[in-house]
Structure formats: C-alpha cells, structure tokens
Copies of this chain bind each other. A is one copy, B any other.
Amino acid sequence: MQQVKTILLSKSVFEDNDREADALRARLREKGVCLVNVMSSPGSGKTTLLIALICRLMKKYRVGVMEADIDSDIDAVNVARKTGCRSVQLHTGGMCHLDAGMTAQGLNELGDGLDLVFLENVGNLVCPAEYDTGATFNIVILSVPEGEDKPLKYPLVFQNSDLVVVSKIDALPYFDFDMEKCAQYISGRNGAAALIPVSAKTGENMDALENWFINKLSEV
C-alpha cells in the first residue's frame, strides 16, 4: 500500500489572499499543472466521486490529490489505496477552509511532475467559497439527499464554481429531488456553471464528467 503523509498546515502569513492566489495560479500555469478545488457539504460523496473520476483520468494524466480535513486521514488513505495516485492528507488545525498559502504548502508536499491536482476542500458550503485557493477552476458537488434548494441558501459557492456535479443520482427514486428546479436555482446564481448529474456508485453519466475534465484540461 502507498504511504500517505499527513501534514498540519500553518496559518498563512500573507495578508492579501487574492494576490497570493493569483500568484499561485500563475506558477501552476507555468508548470503546466491544473489545480481543481472541490467543494461540498460534509458527506456529499466527494471522496467516492473523486476515486471513480481519478481512475478514469489517470489513463491520460498524472494525477495527485490533496485531502483537507480538520481531523482523520481516512480520505487520503482511501484515495491512495483505491487509485494508486499520489495523495497527501492536509490537516487545517481546526480551520474551516483553505486559502492560497495553505494550498501552496500542500502542493509543495505533493511534489512536482503532475498534470492534474485535485484539492478536496473541507466539507463546508460556506467558508471555502470565500477564499480563493489559487485553483485553476472550482467545482461544487451537491448530493441528491441534500435537496435541490441549496443554491438558494448557499449562494457564493455556486456563484464561484465552474461546474456543479449533482452526485448520488442513484438515490433519486428515494428522495424528493427536483433536478429541473435545481438547474433553475443554479443558473439563477451562476448562468455560466455547467451541471452534470452523476452516480459514482453505478457509473451513470461518469463519461460526461470525464469528458468535461478532458475538454477543460485541453483549454488550460
């Protein structure tokens, strides 16, 4: 089994996070690395989805993952075990989000030679959306059991995301989730965001998600 290192992030020393984020984005562009910031509620199935997606994308790209949590390393261990990709667990020391300085610390730990890095942010729909991590693009995962009204209650994370993935669609028969309303609420917050409903469990529509990434990476 692959070793997974856990690092405790230090608080950033930078006063201007936006400037630091832009600088990080520029450094990543020079190196040819695409960094994807993944946000969602706790328990939306981020890790399961990432595992399924990474197994597909690893055939084309050199992929790494940073798992940010307040505590535990189960996500990083799981990702490393199930995909074999380079993975590091970031502990935020109680912080509810990552900023660009913290993200840079994680990237240093992960090392060079990667095309695509996923940052699984702390499970939280509020605070992570307020801090630019320096990512090339942002995605938000909304799971069917959470309900379609989340874009009404948590506007910023939907405003700041390039893609909304509706996860756990295999559970649609079990929950009252109105996909049409969900699409309306999302486009009310962000007309430019793509919407891809998937099930990592059954594989439904994972092709569309994979293709979205392949297209997006060809533009970077």
Asked if A146 lies at the interface with its beta carbon under 8 angstroms from chain B, I say yes
Name the one of B123, B127, B155 contacting A71, with C-beta atoms under 8 angstroms: B155
Chain A residue total in the interface (Cβ 8 A): 33
Complex: A102 Cα to B74 Cα, angstroms:
36
**Which residues, 141 to 176 on A, are CB-close (under 8 Å) to B?**
143, 145-147, 149-150, 152-156, 168, 171, 174-175
Contact A72:B149 (CB < 8 A) given known A41-B43, A96-B96, A171-B174: yes
B-contact 0/1 string along A63-79, CB 8 Å cutoff: 00000011110100000
**Which residues, 165 to 220 on A, are CB-close (under 8 Å) to B?**
168, 171, 174-175
**Which residues, 122 to 148 on A, are CB-close (under 8 Å) to B?**
122-127, 130, 143, 145-147
Q: Give the B-binding residues of A (Cβ under 8 A).
A: 41-44, 69-72, 74, 94, 96, 122-127, 130, 143, 145-147, 149-150, 152-156, 168, 171, 174-175
